[in-house]
Structure 1
Amino acid sequence: MLKIALVFLTGLFFLSLRPYCCGCSNILVVPMDGSHWINMEIILRELHIRGHNITVIHSAKSWYIPNNSTFYTSITRRMMEDEADKNFYNKMVLKVMECRKSWTFMHTFCQNDLIGSMLGQGNKILAGATAEILDDPVFIKKLQDTKFDLMLTDPGLPIGALLGSYLKLPMVFNVRWINTGEAHFTIAPSPLSYVPVSGSELSDQMDFLERTKNLLHYLHNLAQQHFIINPHYSDLLQRHFPPGSDLMSLQLAADIWLIRTDFVFEFPRPTMPNVVYIGGFQCKEAHPLPAELEDFMQSSGDHGVVFMSLGTLVSALSCETMEAIAAAFARLPQKVLWKFVGEKPSSLGNNTLLVKWLPQNDVLGHPKTRAFVAHGGTNGMYEAIYHGVPVVGLPLFFDQFDNILRLKVRGAARMVEAGSLTEESFLEALKDVLETPSYSNNMKRLSQLHQDLPMSPMDTAVFWIEYVIRNKGAAHLQAAGFSLPWYSYFCLDVAVFFIIITAAAIWASVTAYRNLFCHKSRRKRKAE
């Protein structure tokens, strides 16, 4: 009896060591490249640890997604990245800087026009790449035979959503953006009176003029979606999907939206049952730095270190701007650690160390780090919040202006315009953030709120992915409103009904009154 008990307990022990998974499911993944892949890769590694089999469809010419991996199987197809050029984004920065020289009310519309033009070109390529996949019966048969349990995709590339819908797979989005704009604005009710449209550079406290601007941005984005983006997919949808299908309805059919935001950072707004917030899931405790970097950090003494990085896509600003930044850094008592690619500025001070790569999360988590000079990418902003490091924002394009604005509203950041940056203006912003305690205190408060959760964002993300696998979807969490025509959604048909009823009642009343008045008039004339 004792032996049986020991065998039973030993079995339980080894079972407890085995990672929990939903029958070791097959997960098909269509990611985005660039900084988006950094987010996706973290989730995929966690899913692999839990025993899931992962297949990733990506471009053979991806910037960051490797063809050979120990934790997923690669399938290469033509994607948008085959047509893209990293230098394109550097050129875009210069155009955005020109836009920002215009009237303040108008420069956001100028920027949105640039982004709209880019979206139009990009979605034309994406529609073609998707058509090549769906028109390949051998490839589609191979995917069908694999019997995937889930499509996990970043809908910034709609290929994943279209392919998942075509294969009739349960679908989870790892998302901040879809191909038409900001994801939260797409999935959840967004009253324009207090929910700022992405790209508007507005907060949730808007006066009349700002609400007017917000409405105009919404209409501008709507026009881009219907007249610039959607037409590229019409032929594809007609050939491969049921009549009446459109891109937006296929995207809205996703079971769970893992949105990479947190209301410590995002302005409060309405949400939906199938929206799960995982903002900052990539953040973690800092690891020790390499010896050379650690020595540099320690050499800063009590003054500490200022850290600067412009992210994964844009490697450099204009030479004049770089010289102004370097000169301002040279006048600081702090040491400066600058992630930099390009020609070394001539005004670089002895206190500044240029490096091509470094572990950003570990640097931000170092006790010597006093401020973060950043372009405002979402990953960097959440890492700054997690580690409580105030920000000097140097936004360049996309959502970066809105991201810096959110921290600025919360008193944890300063914003500097890259196009009009001078040595003095940049130095003033740096000194303000470094010497005014409220910036650091406010960011540490955000960090405390961000980490005060019942469950980590990563565990939350994995739970909901496995939830969809276990239950073969999450249709019970999807709102019926997405299947309604627009006039029913806004109850315009009901409004028209009541208008007709009211008009009929008024007409009947007026007619009855006129008939009664005329009848009395005729009786009076007869009596006379």
Structure 2
Amino acid sequence: MYVSPFRLKMPPRGSVTLLLFFSIMFLSWRIGHGGKILIVPLEGSHWVNMDILIKALHSRGHFVDVVRTNKSWYIKDDSPHYKTVTVPVTEAFNPDFINPILERIIDTERGGSSFLNFASLQVEMFTAMFNIHGIMCKMATKMFEDKDLMNSLKEREYDLVLTDPAWGAGIMLAHALKLPLVYNVRWITSGEGHLAVAPSPLSYIPMTGSGLSDKMTFMQRVKNVIFYVIWQAQDVFLIDPQYQAVCDKFFGPEVRYSDLLKGADLWLMRVDFVFEFPRPTMPNVVYMGGFQCKPAEPLPEHLEEFVQSSGEHGVIIMSLGTFVSELPADMTNEIAAAFAKLPQKVIWRYKGDRPASLGNNTLIVDWMPQNDLLGHPKIKLFVAHGGTNGLQEAIYHGVPIVGLPIFFDQYDNLLRLKERGGAKILTLNAVDKDDNFLKAIQEVLNEPSYRMNMQRLSRLHRDTPMKPMDTALFWIEFVMRHKGAAHLRTESYRLPWYSYHSVDVVLSFLATVAAITFPSLLFFRCVCLEKCLKRKVNKK
């Protein structure tokens, strides 16, 4: 029998036992020192990225519990990475709630850009937001009224609460349990997260929905201020009062929901400055944009065969995210007909009825491995709705975009890539007119600058000292080790608006100047009048 001269000697049995012992000790130490984290997530695409963070925390030995409702849309009750805390509710954020709203928004968007349509869209969005936060407040009330549930959560002695603050239930729960609070954040209940935690000059910080960049003319700055007022009015009159009512009931009126919202220990922002416009920030804001992105893995066999069959022309992929499963039939047929005229193959994530004009080059799927497809060398273009997750993956892999924004922040997200030369935006009311959709795709495919710009953004995004996920994990564990991060929190959120903007100081200066100046002027006026009177008397 041939024995290789390079064969390693087996260690003695005692060494194997010792190695096994230390391995068990190491794993036991990791398990014993793992933290306990309570997570209050959102549904839909927000849950998709939170789930990735949960898996990473679990892989580091942390124990994770996830608060969900019994009517949860995306959050499953059984998972190897977390255990669930289920809150029974009568209504929840799910397809039955969101689909009618989306249908009305799409109909309004297709009506054009008149003032009436704009006003209708704002009313629709305000109504939806009011109802969503109402559902969340009912869920929070249900939690706080359940004494057994609250006692059970307190007994588990969590190290922190991790929540997405676009809904406020997790914020109030952290206060009730007296735990450090960490955000996985882009949006808060009152709008974009930075507006609550960092200075945000309206001269170059565009408001969500304004469709503006950081370079504004005078009239655009006027528009930006108007949108700021709209957002503030929505918060003051529709959103904050609902959460404040819950705080009043369970914590007392001295606890202000707005203070709880702004008082988080750490804000893990799901953007970076490759994507976001440069702006002021704060020490407890940590940027982890693209933390969910990773190198592409091999495609399933049927998809790989389809992609390879595209030859030199390559493949276009299209997805409108987790919320939008289908579009109006006439628009769908227009999109399908445009795809049929292209030499590229198309993979389209779509759940509606099969379009009558669908070409042989188009494959419709219920689900697709989006990240793995974007990382495939044959992918030439991504048709996307403008959600943050998809755009970050496109940046990571350097794939240009044709954007079809539908609602909320999607147009603003796409605008950031358009300003950097990596995307072209097409509004819904323009899709089925004059072959606009086909022309937009051909422009992005045939103009090399789109791909070159996205690849440049990809290089910038990847050129960091730590991967975004590693950064996020470090700071979560930092808060766990130090029982919070109070030294990073500014006191600005405790100040009333007039103190924050030094209005009281300016008024006191003006009052002091007036107090000094007015008596002097009065004295000189009296002296002058007396002299005038004397002159008149002398003349007589």
SS in 1 for 2:127: helix
Where does residue 349 of structure 1 map in the other structure? Answer: 359
**Structure 2 counterparts to residues 440-455 of structure 1, below 5 A:** 440-455=451-466
Equivalent residue for 2:8?
none
> Would you say the 8 A contact 1:371–1:391 is kept in 2?
yes
1:461 is matched with which residue: 461, 472, 479? Answer: 472
Question: Does 1:49 pair with 2:62?
Answer: no
Structure 1 residue matching 2:430: 3-state secondary structure? coil
CA distance in 1, matches of 2:380, 2:485: 44
Deviates further, 287-296 or 133-142: 133-142
Deviations 1:91-132 (Å, cap 9, x if unpaired)? 424434424634467755543332211111111221121111
The one-letter code sitting in structure 2 at the alignment partner of 1:306 is I
Tell me which residue corresponds to 2:445: 434
Quick one: distance in 2 between partners of 1:255 and 1:109? 37
Question: In 1, distance between residues paired with 2:300 and 2:462?
Answer: 27
Q: 1:461 to 1:108 in 2, by over 3 A?
A: farther
In structure 2, the partner of 1:417 is 427
2:5 corresponds to: none
Unaligned runs of 5+ in 1: none
Assess, with a 3 A threshold, how the Cα gap between structure 1 residues 181 and 93 changes in structure 2: closer, same or farther: farther
Aligned counterpart, 1:387: 397
Share of identical aligned residues, percent? 47
In structure 2, C-alpha distance between the alignment counterparts of 1:189 and 1:446, rounded to whole Å: 26
| Contact persistence 1:80–1:122 (CA under 8 A) | no
The answer as to 2:153 corresponding to 1:123 is no
1:80 Cα shift? Answer: 8.7
Structure 1 window deviating more from structure 2 (289-298 vs 504-513): it is: 504-513
Q: 1:436 to 1:119 in 2, by over 3 A?
A: same
Give, in angstroms, the shift of residue 242 of structure 1.
4.1
User: TM-score, length-normalised on structure 2?
Assistant: 0.92
2:384 alignment counterpart = 374
Return closer, same or farther for 1:107/1:404 CA change in 2, 3 Å cut-off. farther
* 2:229 aligned partner, one-letter code: L
Partner-residue secondary structure (3-state), 1:32: coil
Contact 2:271–2:290, Cα closer than 8 Å, also in 1: yes
What is the CA–CA distance in structure 2 between the aligned matches of 1:239 and 1:280, rounded to whole Å?
Answer: 39
User: Are the counterparts in 1 of residues 50 and 184 from structure 2 also a CA contact under 8 Å?
Assistant: yes
Shift of 1:140: 1.0
The equivalent of 1:489 in structure 2 is 500
Contact 2:72 2:94 in 1 (8 A): no
- Counterpart of 1:420 in 2: which secondary structure? helix
How many residues get paired? 526
Q: What displacement does 1:243 show?
A: 3.3
User: What TM-score do the two structures reach when normalised by structure 1?
Assistant: 0.94
8 A Cα contact 2:98 2:323, kept in partner: no
1:323 alignment partner in structure 2: 333
Cα deviation per residue 1:178-197 (whole Å; 9 max; x = unaligned)? Answer: 12221122221111111011
After superposition, where does 1:21-420 map in structure 2 within 5 Å? 23-78=33-88, 82=92, 84-86=94-96, 88-89=98-99, 91-99=101-109, 101-103=111-113, 110-420=120-430
Deviation at 1:39, TM superposition (A): 0.7
Moved more, 154-163 or 102-111: 102-111
Distance 1:475 1:522 in 2: 69
Q: Residues 278 and 261 of structure 1: is their aligned pair in 2 closer, same or farther, counting only changes over 3 Å? A: same
Distance 2:88 2:62 in 1: 26
**Pick from 494, 510, 516: which aligns with 1:499?**
510
Could you report, residue by residue, the CA deviation over 1:407-434 in whole angstroms, capped at 9, with x for unpaired residues? Answer: 1111111111223312711110000000
Please give the secondary structure, in 2, of the residue aligned with 1:271.
Answer: coil
Cα displacement string for residues 198-243 of structure 1 (whole angstroms, at most 9, x for unaligned residues) = 1111111111111111101111111111111122233321122243
Q: Is the 8 A contact 2:336 2:357 kept in 1?
A: yes
- Tell me, in whole angstroms, the C-alpha distance in 2 between the residues paired with 1:402 and 1:380: 14
Structure 1 pair 13–138 and aligned structure 2 pair: CA distance change class (3 A): closer
C-alpha distance 86-301 of structure 1, shift in aligned 2 (>3 A): farther
Partners of 1:91 and 1:526 in 2: CA distance: 84
Contact 1:153–1:161 at 8 Å: present in 2 too?
yes
On the 8 A contact 1:100/1:107 being kept in 2, the answer is: no
Q: Does the residue aligned with 2:427 lie in a helix, a strand or coil? A: coil
Kindly provide the CA deviation profile for residues 63-96 of structure 1, in whole angstroms up to 9, marking residues without a partner as x: 2111011121111104696354346335424434
Q: Which amino acid aligns with 1:331?
A: K
* Deviation (angstroms), 1:52: 0.8
CA contact (8 A) 1:389 1:443 kept: yes
Counterpart-to-counterpart distance in 1, 2:397 and 2:29: 30
**How far is the alpha carbon of 1:509 from its aligned partner?**
2.1
Moved more, 147-156 or 434-443: 147-156
Give the C-alpha shift of residue 245 in structure 1.
2.0
User: Offset of 1:360 from its aligned partner?
Assistant: 0.5
Structure 2 counterpart of 1:225, one-letter code: D
Q: How big is the shift at 1:406?
A: 1.1
SS in 2 for 1:419: helix
Q: Residues 214 and 105 of structure 1: is their aligned pair in 2 closer, same or farther, counting only changes over 3 Å?
A: farther
Aligned residues of 1:80 and 1:126 also touching (Cα < 8 A): no
Change (3 A) 1:287 1:322: same
Check the 8 A contact 2:73/2:95 in 1, yes or no: no
**SS of 2:200 mapped into structure 1:** coil
Matched to 1:175, the amino acid is: V
What is the identity, as a one-letter code, of the residue corresponding to 1:428? Answer: K
- Distance, in Å, in 2 between the alignment partners of 1:233 and 1:123 is 8
Q: Report the alpha carbon displacement of residue 6 of structure 1 after superposing the two structures with TM.
A: 11
Deviations 1:364-393 (A, max 9, x none): 000000000011111000000000000000
* CA-based RMSD: 2.5
Q: Deviations over 1:308-365 (max 9, x none)?
A: 1111111011000010000000000111111111211111111111111111000000
Tell me the amino acid that sits aligned with residue 484 of structure 2.
G
Query: Structure 2: 5+ residue runs without aligned partners?
Result: 1-12
Deviation at 1:160, TM superposition (A): 0.5
